[in-house]
Amino acid sequence: MNKVKTKNSRERDTIKRRYILLSSDLISISSAVIGGWLLAEFIKNLFFADLLPMEWDRAKKIMPVLFGLPSVFIILGSGFQGHYNRFRPFWNEFAELFKIILFAAGMVIIYLYFVKSHFSRMWFFASWLLVIVMMPLGRLLAKKVMMQVGIWFNPTVVIGTGFNAVESALAVESDPLLGMKIVALIELEEESPNKSLLHRNSTMGSPYKIVKIGDPLETFHRLGDPYVVLALDPADYQTHAELINRLTSSQVNMSIVPPMRGLPLLCTEVFHIFRYEVLLLRYQNNLARRSLVFLKRSFDLILSSVLLVILLPLFAFFSWRIKRDGGKTFFRHRRIGCKGKPFKCYKFRTMSRDADRIFKETLASDKDAQKEWNRNFKLKIDPRITPIGQFLRKNSLDELPQLWNVLKGEMSLVGPRPIVEEELERYGDQAHYYLEVKPGMTGLWQISGRNDIDYQRRVYLDGWYVRNWSLWYDIVILMKSLPIAIRGKGAY
């Protein structure tokens, strides 16, 4: 990765990536079909021993309909969506793949219903369930392997004039699955000292090389014809109109990062008006639509009920262990909920019985602790925490009783971090976003660094979540929260 690749070698890498991803999909589907057969036979033998096993000769006759044609549809659908030649974040690609697989399986079910064909339903559903799991995991593994052997990343340059350029570089390189390796930031012309890329690069802590642009195409050729990301600040699109015209009329592979921070992007449809340089973003506030609010509440109600039943033994164990230290098992704290309505937020008790006295003495004697509390409303080294409380907090297990808050309708599984009334003032003009929804057991701030990120960033993430809510992103946040909670990073 240290040497600059030629354009021809990158084209060969592109072909290799395409065939590796295609092969990964074929292997995943084949493995899922075989695994589904074995799983179905195991379940039959375990629970339905009186059922006859399906003969392999008969199975081979129906396989083209059950899996052959749908697999071709999935491969073609994935190719049409650009999964084999365009880079994208994992969860976006997974959402598209999930829809393709469900559509393919649904068409098979409809066909088999009308032709009244006899087939092993257990085999069918087990196999397609494994397809949903194995295909994205297979692609992820294939991409990780390609990263290791050096054929995944494309050398990339970011052209810009300030904050938007540096933040765009940090953003695209933060997700390795996008396949962009930033080799340089290209500064267009001499800017004012506080706006220059050199200044922004140092103040934002980014490590990128700064290149002054002369002739853009010549500069790109000198850097090995990299992929280009154009990330200008708002006022610079008119100033550099000639450069934009040159780039769009050339053969340069390019993405554009418009300066649109603060706007809701995930809940918008994009339209353009013929013959005019006008882009319309049709915005729909998903959380203002009753049907979607009902869907979110139903999702919370079903999943919280299931989790409460499954986790009853864990609740019993932690209750017994906390009781050994004396005092109550649960702690209730007043938090601000949707529409500003206060509620009692439940947690396992993690502090000693004389926590109030210890807290006052700590703040009175330790100025640094006082500043930390005023800044974050948390102490990284908190003398009030018991040993079992430290374990519970480290893995976010102290928040499991909030499932009861979710069941009662006071909280959601995913949402902004529940705050006390004093914190609401620190949200400023973002406070209405917090008050628009129910606070969540987990959320964007938990999967973005938890207590390691500053308060201002937490407020921004809460606002982003509300502006861009979708049920799919709730599911993604829940899935990403589990490994983060297990690792305990940023928790205290």
Q: What is the pLDDT of residues 366-425, one digit of tens each?
A: 677 777 767 666 666 677 778 888 888 888 888 999 999 999 999 999 999 898 888 888
The CATH number corresponding to 154-259 among 3.40.50.720, 2.40.390.10, 3.20.20.70, 3.50.50.60 equals 3.40.50.720
Given the structure tokens 């992929």, which residue do they identify? 227
**What's the whole-model pTM score?**
0.73
At residue 193, the pLDDT reads: 45
> Distance (Å, rounded) from C-alpha 173 to C-alpha 154?
11
Q: Which residues lie closer than 8 Å to 338 by C-beta, 6 or more apart?
A: 435, 436, 437, 438, 439
Q: How far from each other are the two terminal CA atoms of the chain, in whole angstroms?
A: 38
- At residue 447, what is the residue type? I
Chain segment 323-370, per-residue pLDDT in tens: 887 778 888 889 999 999 999 999 998 877 766 677 777 777 767 777
How does pLDDT run across 102-146, given as a tens digit for each residue? Answer: 998 888 888 777 776 666 677 788 888 999 999 999 999 999 999
When computed from its CA atoms, the radius of gyration of the chain, rounded to whole angstroms, is: 27
**What is the number of residues in the chain?**
492
What residues does each domain of the chain span? 7-149, 154-259, 290-350+385-487
- pLDDT, tens only, 227-245: 888 888 777 777 777 777 8
Q: What is the largest CA-CA distance in the chain?
A: 81
Mean pLDDT across the chain: 81
Q: For the ranges 85-99, 206-220, 398-412, 473-487, which has the lowest average pLDDT?
A: 206-220
pLDDT, one tens digit per residue, over 181-210 is 888 888 776 554 444 555 455 545 556 777
